Structure 1
Amino acid sequence: MTTAPTLTAPSATAPTLSDLHALDAAAMPSIFTLPEDVALLRDEVREFARTRLRPRVLDNDLAAADDFDWDIVRAGHELGLLRLTIPKELGGRGVGVLGVAVAMEELAAVCASTALIFGASMLGATAVLFSGDPQLQARFIPPFLGDEPVLACNAVTEEVAGCDLLIPAHAADAAEVMTARRDGDHFVLNGIKRFITNGKVAQWATVFANLEGYPGATGMTVFVVPLDNPGVVRGAVADKMGYRACLGTTLEFHDVRVPEENIVFGEANGWGYLNVQSNQARTIVAAISTGVARGAFDIAKDWAGERVQGGKPLSEQQFTARKLAEMAAKVEASRLLYLQAAYQAENMLPAPVFGAAVAKLFADRAAIEVAEEAMSIVGARGYCREYGLEKLVRESFGARIYEGTPEVLALAITDSLYGRRQ
């Protein structure tokens, strides 16, 4: 009788799918070779995920919905993950969209929740960094450079305005319920934001609100709001199916006064920024989905190489080999699409909406398909929590919801094809 192998983390000796890229890098076309600094960052984050993150994944996933692992955030902060996108002249690492996306894939291959914690914080800080406003940067960026970790969040989604903010090609057709009313040299914010990642633990938020009297989202304005301001209420944490280690919560704003100097990009200029931000966010989510798919693939690959049935490993049996090949192809294609989208965004190339939407649409679907196939290959052990695969299956579904559902992405893609948006 053949003893069934134990299902563990991917082998440290056998090459993973990502390792294959480094086996013959010198012979590969330059378009597929990461810049040296990005490759070094990838290796740093991969080692962090393997040694520091993986041992905590199961406990964090099984913890209560409102538990938060500040220790792993602190460890990531020591690595520099919270200052990746901060320019070097401000004390950060000066990493662009490409490097961030690659780092998020590495984290997500082990724990998508952790990738989302760091990714959402970077997204929240992006507006201040993009603004080029010295006073905003002097007030809100230094905490990211201190000894203790500080998180930000990005408050866009509302009870009745999630996809309604992303579907329309024009601001007048978009739904924005949260309001901002001028009162002297301040604005008074009222409204409720939903499912805000890091909302429970962030120090401040980038908040999108519509100026009173403007139709649709034509008055959308971006505010930086410290979450200890009077009138801000952090609501209950959502008890989610996946991404359980990152906290998504409601943020309520009841007559919250914000000084006008906390406006980013000026009054009624938030719609354009939201679309730029959305392209970057979709690219990052595509990278996270790629990481989830890769994590599931590596588990299935190791299992199929060790599990013997009918006298030979599953990996040598035609039916399983075909599955593994198709899974590998989906991971590879997902990676190439998000790398292309990241390159477009970082270099301000044409058609960023199209590239980011295509990357996310494909990678999100690939993550679900690869995770499900991995479960079918591994079988009963994969269905048990202690092996980690069922977590990846749960998390594979999450990315299809945030930063654009498949339907929203399809509209963005076809709008681009017909010239309705770029």
Structure 2
Amino acid sequence: MVAIAASALSVAALVFIVFCIIKFLMAVKDYSRTCYLIRQFPHEPSHPIWGHLFDHPGPNEKGLQYQREMTAKYPRVGSMWHNIGVHAEKDEYFEVFSVISKFTLDVILKCAFSYDTDCQKVGNQNPYVQAVYALSEMAVQRYFQPWFHSDWLYFLTPMGRKFRENCRVVHNVANDVISKRKITLANTPVRKQEVKKNCLDFLDILLTARDENGEGLTFDEIRAEVDTFLFEGHDTTASAISWAMYSLAQHADIQATCQEEIDELFKGRETDDFLWEDLSHLPYLSMCIKEALRLHSPVPSIQRELTQDTDIDGYIAPKGAIVNIVIYNIHHNPTVWQDSLEFRPERFTEENIKSRNPYAFIPFSAGPRNCIGQNFAMDEIKLVLAKTLHRFTLVADPDHKVEKS
């Protein structure tokens, strides 16, 4: 009897192992799983106004245009963190990404739905902040472990259960904030809303958005849009700022030129407060930012689903296929970028830009489905670098070798 039970158990174990191997091979073979995993982040279902900002369906051109119009109304961020000053006073080296990442999370939370976490002071003590960072890390871990691409298997694991717990934390906070804001907007006279229409944050815009039939977004759709903007915005921006700082720290002469440009902007002023129009008067800094985005692409690749059979260099890619666009390779193409591993801001003079194919530089993707937060991100990066370089000089730690993960 014991032998029979043991034999049955062995057969069951063998069947399970074979099943897992088959699932693994299918996951490796089926590249469309990439898009599937992207949809595992807290996000919205397809919607006639919005859709999903990362995995957007093709025919929804009106929705895309509406998103861009509302994105243009975002309030811009003028706050700045003081953590760098603490390290500067001690004349010590420190790892900049953790500081910048908390700052960008503060920024996007404040702009997305006026949620004050004060990440830079409380750090990871805030449960919401803990959940955001945990979800980002677990999503990457799951991506590189194909055997966890199956939902039923993944959510049986400790990591899968933790993923769900963190999703609940993020959603509960969003639910609370959205509910309170809906009450506030309901009690605000329409006239005041119209006067302040250019000062609405992302959540206000979502709550007041209406399609041509006068229909607004549902509660779940609003929450998901905010989550999408958060998860796809803060970490990439932090990476861009950090690599730009590192590049400038590695090239003291280029950094000095940026500082001269910034100092010239403040000549004759009584305060060192930045005005938003100042950002358009920093052309050399803008060139440095673009070169940093080229050299260290925050988003190294993107995926697109073909809406028709497409000839790609003699190969016919069928409709429905998922095409991987490797931005990092595009930005290091030796036929376009001479000495592509070198940091040369002059690549982005107006003359040089005009001489290149516009698709040679696509840090925010390109075309009708490019990043809707592009202007927001560029302004944020420029403001952070301008304020930092106006107060500090960046120096790379000679004893620390920076490696890309």
Same fold (TM over 0.5): no
TM-score band (shorter)? Answer: under 0.3
| Larger-Rg structure | 2
TM-score (norm: length of structure 1): 0.21
TM-score (norm: length of structure 2): 0.22
Q: Determine which structure has the larger helix proportion and give its number.
A: 2
